[in-house]
Every structure is written in C-alpha cells, then in structure tokens.
Amino acid sequence: MTRGIGLRRYSLCLSVATLILSAFTPAKTVCSPEYRAVTILHTNDTHGHLLPFSYRESLNNSEERVKIPVNDSIGGIARRATLVHRIENEVGGEVLLLDAGDVMDGTAFSIEYMGEADFAAMSKAGYDAFTPGNHEFSTSLDQFWKNVKTATFPILAANVIDKKSKKLVLPDHKIFDIHGVKIAIFGLTLPNEYRAAKEGLGFLDPYGVATELAPRLKKQADVVIALTHLGLENDIRLAEKVPAIDVIVGGHSHSRLETPLVIKHPGMQSAFSLGGTIIVQDHRWGGELGRLDLKLRRNNGPFTLMSYRGRLIPVTSDIPEDSATARVVARYYTPISAKYEQIVGEASDTFWNDNKLENSMLNLVCDAMLEATRAEVAIYNEGGVRGDLAKGTIRYWDIAEAFPFKNKLVVIRVSGKELKRVLETERPGVSGARYRIRSGKLTYAMLDGEAVNESKTYLVATVDFLADRIFQGVSDSRIVSDDYRQAIVSYIKTRKTITPVLDGRRVID
C-alpha cells in the first residue's frame, strides 16, 4: 500500500463582486494565503532489530545513553507500526514514513534471512520510501534484488548504477501528490565495495547527482527531501552545497539528533520561508521514532517551507504491537527461535565494546579464534563488533547480535612486515600478540615475547572479509570454519563462565 502524507489545510477565500461596466460582470475570487501541515516519520540504521531490545548494555556510559529517556525493552517494528497509526489518527490523516538505510546486519534475522525478514516487516508496517545503506549491499547481488522485490515500498537510489551499462538500477526519486501538495523524495547512498557492489554495481558521486537532480525536482514539487545514507558530516556538506533540498532524512553515522539541525542559506530567508535545509537522524536500532512536522504556506504560487518541529519518540513497552506486523515478524522468528535462544554460557561481568578503552569484546573474539585455529596470532577489527555481552546468561542470540556478520574463519600466511603494517594502519584487536601505537606510529609489536621479525612468515587467524580487505601479499589461505561465531560459542561452552580480559595487549596513545 502506498502511504500518503498527513495534511491539515487552512485557507480563506472571499468572493468579491466587482461592478465595473455592468451588473453581469463575473465575480472575482480573492484568496488569502493557504497553509498546510505535513508529518514525516523516520528511522535509520535499524540493523535487524525487529524485536524489542534494551540499549543499556550497548551504550555503556556513553553520552547517547544518558540522553535517551528509556533504555530498557524499547523498539520493535510491531510497536513502531502502532505508534505510526496513533500519529496518523492524531494529525487526522496519513503520514509519510521513511527509512534511511542499513536495515540489515545486526541480529540473527539478518544472518538467517539476509534482509528478507526486514523488508517484509517494513512492508507490513507501511513504509513509504527507503534508500539502501552500505549494509544492504553485503549480500550477493541476487539476494539484493530479492530484497528489492520483497519490499512493497519504493527503494530509491539516484547514484547506484550498473557497472556495465552505467544506467541507474533503481528509481532515483518519487513524487507524492496529495491534495495539491507535491513532495519529491530522492535517495543517495554511500559508495562501497561490499559483495553486491563488487558483483556488478557502481556508485556515482552523491554530491554531483544531488546538485543536478534537486533543482530539477524543485521545479516539479513544493518540498524536496533527500533520503540519504551518507552520515551526518556528509549531510551537512550536502545541505551547504545544494540549497534546493528542503529536508535531509539521514543515516549511517548513527547520530542521535534530539532536535533537527538546520543549515541556513544566506539570502533565502524571509518572513514566510525558513530559507534553510532541515537535517534529521534517528540514532540506531529503532528504539525511538523520529517525527518531523512541517508547516507550509503558499500565496499564488507553490508552497514554501515556513517552520518545523522535530523530536524523537521512544518506542516503549506500553505501546502494544500491531498484530499484522507482529505476525510477519513471528513468521521469520519462530523457525529460528530454538537455535538462537539456546544457552551458551555465563558472563561473570559485562564485556564492553568500548573502542575508547581496551576492548574486552575484541579480546574475546580474538582469543576464541586463536584457540580454534592454533595460529600464532589472531586479528579482528573494531567494526566487526556491534554490541556487548551483558553480565549473566549468554544466549546464541547475544553472540549473533554482537557479531552479526556472516564470515568464515580462515588462517593465512603473511610476512612480519605485512603484519606490522596491518597493526599500524588498522589497529585491530589481537590475541597472541602485544603492540602499541603512539602518535599514529607502531612503537613495538611482540609475539610470544619476541619482536615481530619482518622477514619471517606468520600464521594469522582472521575472517575472510579481513583477509581479502586489509591484508596484502597473502601467500596461503585455509578455511577453518564457514562461521567464525562457532569458535566463540565453543570457547564459551568449554569454560562455561567467561570473564572479561583487559591485559594491555593493544595500546593506542
């Protein structure tokens, strides 16, 4: 179902009979300015969180956690659908529901269904438009197209092309026309080299595309919305470069904008025009629903954006689930629930994924990979860890949420020189090694108490994604397991209870 736009119309027309030459002269209609209200709801970076969850473990003591009013049992797409319906009733009409990408790679739903469950649930919840994030390209190209077909809402991307034909592979924009108010939405995504992209997709410069497209859409619509997966810094740059964009609904940087950011355009402000670009973003995982209310005005011309109000609404446990959306989620969760609810072990304390300090989650995965392979050193990247492990019972679901990527465990042979380069440039988590970075330079790297020898060859345990992406000159590669998470599960099951390890193996000054 294509959703419309929440509208409230305010206008006043006076019929004035003007006698010029005869009493039969037609009446002339004089209209006062007309006002409309538009409600936009938005999410981004939900990363497979179709079920309710708690933020408290995943935000540690960060600034975001302090600001979020509710941390426990929040989110869930079925609750979100109910909240959307409530807001529709409040404004007396339908609303525009948008998502700015990265619905995948974060929970077991993505591991098992590679996006299909997310797009099916979003379709039932009533989304109107979506732009793909970089994680939508982490599947095969065939799966990417399967996900596109699963969605009943338009997937917009003005800068994604077929590598061979150089033509757009998805619609670049869609215009919603409701009672004379036209809103054009176009999509932009971050260029990447994920699997689907490597298998046949390319990316145009998003700024160049927007510079050409937005002014053209402005001639066809009253409001132009860029639905972007570029990150907040790039959204600010986009707003500064392309003043024809009225609103940017963004994603990728997981920025929590409690109130919208407005980039003013010199010379474009007036008493009845905002004269700037509004930027909104809704943090991550759908724990809150972004709401942006726009007020528009026109007087013998197109509507102009006059004012706005934006905020984030917690999706709390007192919001009942929309039954239709809940049934879709259950259809995908029930077949995998037994697997992911199984108990793996216990954590004596919380393992924090805290990149500002030594990372006990990185130490855990590296220790597990080293034990499973008996290599000389294990390496894993910060970006591959997406959550914490809370003190107490550890379920398989918790492992999947913290390590959501479908990677193989491999052992490769690399030179000591290459190993030192990777330590210095990538700054990964390690096991079997100790190293220090000071002022951006590697000051020492030790294996078994001895300095890494640049001319020697070492056995390195890692995942296939990193072996292909960050290592150069690999002389040999062996697959140990098709799923590296099994090494983590075995490591925990062997010990039954695990304790966070912080031993100074990775120091970055």
User: Are residues 184 and 225 in contact, defined by beta-carbon separation less than 8 angstroms?
Assistant: yes
Phi and psi at residue 424, in whole multiples of 5°?
-75, -45
Residue 297 CA to its chain's centroid (Å): 33
Specify the 3-state DSSP secondary structure of 391: coil
Angle in degrees, 0-180, between the axes of helices 77-91 and 323-341, rounded to the nearest 10 = 160
DSSP structure class, residue 384? G
Task: Mark 31-68 as b/e (b = at least 16 C-beta within 10 Å).
Answer: eeebbbbbbbbbbbbbbbbbbbbebebbbbeeebeeeb
The greatest distance separating any two alpha carbons of the chain, rounded to the nearest whole angstrom, comes to: 107
* Nearest Cα residue to 225 out of 241, 248, 242, 203: 248
pLDDT number for residue 377 = 98
Residues 293, 36: Cα–Cα separation, whole Å: 11
Q: Which CATH class is domain 6-332?
A: alpha beta
Single out the residue of 397, 414, 402, 394 nearest to residue 365, CA to CA.
402
Whole-number pLDDT of residue 137: 96
Sign of the CA dihedral running 272, 273, 279, 285: positive
Residue spans of the domains in the chain: they are 6-332, 343-508
Confidence (pTM): 0.88
Per-state percent for the chain, helix, strand, coil, to nearest 5: 30, 30, 40
Q: Residue 119 class from Cβ within 10 Å (0-12 exposed, 13-18 middle, 19+ buried)?
A: buried
Candidates 255, 251, 257, 321; CA nearest to 80 is 321
Let me know: does 319 contact 287? Beta carbons within 8 Å. Answer: no
Cβ neighbours for 339, distance < 8 A, ≥ 6 positions apart: 108, 396
Q: Are 222 and 303 in contact (CB under 8 A)?
A: yes
Report the pLDDT value the prediction gives residue 41, as an integer from 0 to 100.
Answer: 98
Q: Which CATH number fits domain 343-508: 3.30.70.330, 3.90.1530.10, 3.90.780.10, 3.40.640.10?
A: 3.90.780.10
* pLDDT per residue as tens, the chain (509 positions): 444 444 444 444 434 333 333 444 444 444 679 989 999 999 999 999 999 998 765 555 555 555 778 888 999 999 999 999 999 999 987 789 999 999 999 999 999 999 999 999 999 999 999 999 999 999 999 999 999 999 999 999 999 999 999 999 999 999 997 767 899 999 999 999 899 999 999 999 999 999 999 999 999 999 999 999 999 999 999 999 999 999 999 999 999 999 999 999 988 877 778 889 999 999 999 999 999 999 999 988 899 999 999 999 999 999 999 999 999 999 999 999 999 999 999 999 999 887 666 799 999 999 999 999 999 999 999 989 988 898 999 999 999 999 999 899 999 999 999 999 999 999 999 999 999 999 999 999 999 899 999 999 999 999 999 999 899 888 889 999 999 999 999 999 999 999 999 999 999 98
pLDDT in the model for residue 179: 65
